[in-house]
Amino acid sequence: MKQPLAVAGYILGGALAGAALLHFASGASVPDDDDAPKKEAAEPAEADGALHADAEKLGLQLAPLSATTISAGQQGYARAIDLSPLAAIGAEITAAQAAVAASGAEAARLNDLAAQDGNASRREAQAAGAQATSDKARLTLACQRVALEFGAGLARLGCNAIPGLARQAAAGTRAVIRIDMPAGPPPTGAMVEVGEGAQAKRLRVLGPAVGGDAQLQTAGVLAIAEGTASVGRVLPARMGAAAGQAGVLVPRAALVRSDGALFVYRARGKDGFERIALTGAVAGDAGWAVPVGALHVGDRIVVEGAGTLLGLEHAAPAGGDD
């Protein structure tokens, strides 16, 4: 009996020893979740709010902002308008005036003959009178086209002045200027300064222009300038100009348009760029004058390649949890 009991003891002891070894081996090889080292979240590339880019690789050019002075008073924009349609209206007015004179004289002559000795029939006199009325209607319509196509301001010159104005515009001695101001249209008769430096001119407002500016959503006014002017060229316009506030001069090449507003990209840090909105900016020949505030003299802005940064900013994926 002693020998079977000894064998059973050996077997039981071996099983217990094996279980103990398996327990310690598994505990050593599989660490607990709480003991595992924690990973730190990677900091996003734009955590500082700036767009980071390699200026040299993208071909960006930067320049410091220079100082300028912004005149006080109402600011706006002016441009010469195309007067080719006015020339056609002027020719129509001239032809209609000649027709009115001729048909009116013929109607008067036939009426006199019919009343005196019956050499002209009453029917002929009535036909001549109808033709005279038709010619007058054509003249009235031609005169109304000035207001309908250009605005009441130009129509105030009078129908007789339109053919002469068209001839002067063709000769380069006069131009019609449209003026738009975000604060509201200047009143009729107000004096507005258009242009800069020695080329600036003081113009008297004639009255409203037709339609609104598609970009500015403003109601414009018309004025006449002596001399020639490039059609479509945008010039600064000022009313009540005086010495004003300090500003910075932003080159036109630095401007980008997004969401209906104007922006520039200012350098920030080593390779960062931030988008700055332009508020209170005034257009000029040399660029846009912007009041000191968000931008300051000496700030380095992107003057070439700003559109590339805007494209990168719009193409960047939005941050969020996976």
Can you list the domains of the chain with their CATH numbers? 51-71+243-315 (2.40.420.20), 86-149 (1.10.287)
Strand partners, 221: 179, 208
For residue 35, is pLDDT > 60?
no
Higher-pLDDT residue of 20, 260: 260
pLDDT value of residue 289? 84
The Cα 67–Cα 243 span in angstroms is: 15
The Cα 292–Cα 161 span in angstroms is: 47
pTM score, two decimals?
Answer: 0.50
Q: Quick check: 223 and 201 in contact, CB under 8 A?
A: no
Question: Can you read off the two tokens belonging to residue 161?
Answer: 């002045």
For residue 281, is pLDDT > 60?
yes
Structure confidence by residue, pLDDT tens digits, 41-94: 333 345 556 788 777 888 888 899 898 877 666 788 899 999 999 999 999 999
Torsional sign, CA 226, 287, 61, 52: negative
The Cα 180–Cα 76 span in angstroms is: 6
φ, ψ of residue 137 in degrees (nearest 5): -65, -40
Mean pLDDT across the stretch 118-139? 84
| Percent residues over pLDDT 90 in the chain | 28
For residue 104, is pLDDT > 60?
yes
Per-chain mean pLDDT for the chain: 78
| Percent residues over pLDDT 70 in the chain | 76
For residue 164, is pLDDT > 90?
yes
209: left (phi over 0), alpha (psi -120 to 50) or beta: beta
Q: Which amino acid does the sequence have at 249? A: L
Q: Quick check: 186 and 192 in contact, CB under 8 A?
A: yes
pLDDT value of residue 61? 86
Which residues fall within 8 angstroms of residue 174, CB to CB, at 6 or more apart? 165, 168, 224, 225, 226, 227
For residue 109, is pLDDT > 70?
yes
Mean pLDDT across the stretch 175-198? 86
For residue 21, is pLDDT > 50?
no
Structure confidence by residue, pLDDT tens digits, 307-320: 888 888 877 655 44
Q: Which long-range contacts (CB under 8 A, 24 or more apart) does 10-19 make?
A: none
Strand partners, 158: none
Reported as a pLDDT band with limits 50, 70 and 90, residue 287 is: confident
Reported as a pLDDT band with limits 50, 70 and 90, residue 11 is: very low
Reported as a pLDDT band with limits 50, 70 and 90, residue 222 is: very high
The Cα 62–Cα 236 span in angstroms is: 26
